[in-house]
């Protein structure tokens, strides 16, 4: 079975504790489509309580169990609902991927006084104040949980920086603590040093912090027995930390837990490769460069040279560690990193990640279920967004499970029309895929000797006519204008 992941949420997923139940109710449907893994949103209590998407983590040990931040359940449900959803998936052979946010903490319980230096937000290596004493919410005592599961209390020594100082102008304040000189070392020098992202930035050089996070990883696994982890904001964290954390997680659980990191650097393949090298291949990365190409191609239409769609991508450079995607919660409309792939191009993009042998594809929730929501646009005006289910997405997913096997031959000679074939294997017949970003097209491709005389039909249902493979193993496969077709053998 070809592995396929789904991100089963988006930034505006409905609250009221319904998401976990929806995942549970969708198990049969997901199995039918060949989904092999479900990526959950961050499941722990966050500063926003029952309204939080989860990327402002407060208490990693509160999975919707304790009365904290004005709620017992998280936005997505209670701990009982979470565990039930995970067990249901795993009983049905679907893996659980959990979202891990270890870059920062938010919603501290008490103010604490310490020394810090204000820095230039555009160059965090440039101090714009002398060391000053500030107060910030860096004490985390978790009064709603007490010391159940862990007695560790966080204070300013656990953080490198904050963005809030009581009675002071907001900005980025680098904390002067006992565990390092300045920011942690990153692999890129964006903004001088991009260690700091938001809230209270965790100092992963602190040995007590590392010990606590290693303990938490094992504890978390013992709660839900997750099969994989999605690591948030690795661009802002030391590769050395995650290399160590994943080593301990795998050693302590006795499982080769899958890991994919979010290093969002569109069009900057060398940075992705550098991070993989620094982490010694211990995690995959989302192919933000391929998403960038999809976004550009969808805007450019017929002016985009499809032969370049995989240029400078992780999928081309290191396919075994590439997780491919068409959109996610950060790129969807009205988000800060908004760069959605246009509706017309999404079937083409999904064909490129689902029906080829390179990469591990990740489906985005609105592309399978649709979504509508309202938020402020960049001008501060309310805007309502309607995201439709991608045309023919179910057929493309099923084609991946039924036909996308065996050797692959590419026919990438035309700037506006790509084609490739999969020969199939001992258990599966193959397929021929053609996509066009311009007019309708017919592409001759070789299926191989074993298909001589066989009849192929359009699995997506665009064409009634059939293609018969000739005496040399070739067929002439049509595609509609600006679309994709998938041709498979009858019977």
For 70-198, list the strands marked E by DSSP. 95-100, 104-105, 110-120, 123-127, 132-139, 159-162, 172-175
Enzyme catalytic residues: 232, 262
- How far is residue 109's CA from residue 146's CA, in Å, rounded to a whole number? 12
Q: How many residues does the chain have?
A: 491
The single residue listed with the structure tokens 């954390």 is: 245
- How far is residue 335's CA from residue 361's CA, in Å, rounded to a whole number? 22
Close Cβ partners of 337 (under 8 Å, ≥ 6 residues apart): 264, 330, 331
Strand partners, 157: none
Alpha-carbon dihedral 478, 483, 489, 491, rounded to 10 degrees? -130
Q: What angle separates helix 393-403 from helix 346-354, to the nearest 10 degrees?
A: 20
Residue pair 121/191 in contact by the 8 Å Cβ criterion: yes
Dihedral-angle region of residue 40 (phi above 0 means left; psi in -120 to 50 means alpha; beta otherwise): beta
The secondary structure of residue 231, as a DSSP letter, is E
Give the largest Cα separation in the chain, rounded. 82
Alpha-carbon dihedral 257, 62, 69, 142, rounded to 10 degrees? -120
Report the helix count and the strand count for the chain, using DSSP H and E: 11, 27
- How far is residue 221's CA from residue 242's CA, in Å, rounded to a whole number? 16
- How far is residue 104's CA from residue 358's CA, in Å, rounded to a whole number? 33
């Amino acid at each position: 079975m070809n592995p396929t992941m789904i991100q089963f949420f988006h930034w505006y997923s409905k609250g009221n504790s319904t998401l976990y139940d929806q995942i549970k109710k969708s198990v049969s449907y997901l199995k039918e489509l060949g989904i092999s893994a479900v990526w959950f949103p961050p499941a722990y209590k966050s500063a926003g309580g029952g309204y939080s998407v989860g990327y402002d983590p407060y208490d990693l040990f509160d999975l919707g169990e304790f009365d904290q931040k004005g709620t017992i359940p998280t936005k997505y449900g209670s701990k009982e609902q979470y565990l039930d959803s995970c067990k249901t998936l795993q009983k049905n052979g679907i893996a659980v991927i959990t979202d891990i946010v270890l870059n920062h903490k938010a919603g501290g319980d008490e103010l604490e006084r310490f020394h810090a230096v204000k820095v230039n937000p555009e160059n965090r290596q440039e101090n714009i104040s002398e060391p000053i004493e500030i107060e910030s919410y860096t004490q985390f005592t978790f009064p709603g949980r007490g010391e159940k599961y862990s007695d560790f209390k966080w204070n300013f020594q656990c953080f490198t920086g904050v963005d809030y100082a009581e009675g002071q102008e907001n900005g980025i304040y680098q904390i002067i603590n006992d565990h390092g000189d300045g920011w942690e070392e990153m692999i890129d020098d964006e903004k001088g040093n991009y260690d700091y992202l938001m809230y209270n930035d965790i100092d992963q050089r602190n040995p007590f912090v590392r010990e606590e996070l290693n303990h938490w990883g094992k504890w978390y696994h013992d709660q839900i027995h997750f099969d994989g982890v999605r690591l948030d904001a690795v661009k802002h964290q030391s590769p050395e930390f995650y290399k160590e954390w994943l080593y301990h997680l795998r050693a302590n659980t006795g499982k080769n837990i899958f890991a994919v990191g979010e290093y969002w650097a569109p069009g900057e393949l060398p940075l992705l490769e550098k991070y993989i090298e620094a982490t010694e291949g211990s995690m995959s990365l989302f192919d933000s460069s391929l998403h960038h190409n999809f976004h550009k191609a969808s805007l450019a239409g017929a002016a985009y040279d499809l032969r370049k769609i995989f240029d400078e991508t992780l999928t081309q450079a290191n396919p075994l560690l590439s997780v491919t995607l068409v959109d996610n919660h950060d790129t969807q409309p009205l988000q800060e990193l908004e760069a959605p792939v246009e509706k017309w191009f999404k079937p083409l993009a999904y064909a490129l990640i689902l029906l080829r042998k390179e990469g591990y594809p990740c489906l985005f929730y609105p592309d399978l279920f649709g979504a509508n929501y309202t938020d402020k646009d960049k001008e501060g005006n309310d805007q309502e967004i309607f995201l439709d289910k991608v045309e023919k997405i179910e057929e493309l997913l099923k084609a991946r499970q039924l036909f996308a096997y065996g050797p692959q031959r590419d026919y990438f000679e035309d700037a506006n029309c790509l084609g490739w074939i999969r020969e199939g294997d001992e258990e599966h017949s193959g397929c021929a895929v053609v996509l066009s970003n311009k007019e309708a097209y017919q592409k001759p491709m070789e299926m191989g000797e074993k298909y001589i005389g066989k009849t192929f039909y359009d699995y997506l249902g665009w064409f009634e006519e059939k293609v018969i493979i000739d005496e040399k193993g070739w067929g002439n496969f049509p595609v509609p204008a600006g679309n994709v077709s998938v041709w498979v053998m009858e019977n």
